[in-house]
Structure 1
Amino acid sequence: MQNEIRRLPKKTIFIIGAIIIIALIGFLFLKNLKEQKLVEILESIGYKNIKDVTVINKLSVEDAETRYRSTVYKVMFFNQDSNQTCIGFIHKERDEHYTKDFDCK
Structure 2
Amino acid sequence: MSYEVRKLPKKTVIIISLIVFIAIVIFLVQKTLKEQRFAEILGTLGHTNITELKIINKLNVEDVQTKLKSNVFKVKFFDNDLNQTCIGFLHKEKDDLYSKDFDCK
TM-score under structure 1 length normalisation: 0.95
**Alignment match, 2:81:** 81
User: Residue 75 of structure 1: SS of its match in structure 2?
Assistant: strand
Partner Cα distance (1:10, 1:96) in 2: 49
**Alignment match, 2:40:** 40
Residue 93 of structure 1, CA deviation: 1.0
Partner Cα distance (1:67, 1:103) in 2: 28
**Alignment match, 1:4:** 4
- Map residues 16-35 of structure 1 onto 2, 5 A cutoff: 16-35=16-35
**Alignment match, 2:69:** 69
Partner Cα distance (2:12, 2:74) in 1: 40
Structure 2 unpaired stretches of 5+? none
Structure 1 unpaired stretches of 5+? none
Partner Cα distance (2:87, 2:10) in 1: 47
Displaced runs of 4 or more, over 6 A: none
TM-score under structure 2 length normalisation: 0.95
**Alignment match, 2:100:** 100
Identity %: 56
User: Residue 53 of structure 1: SS of its match in structure 2?
Assistant: strand
Deviations 1:39-75 (A, max 9, x none): 1110010011111111111111111221111111110
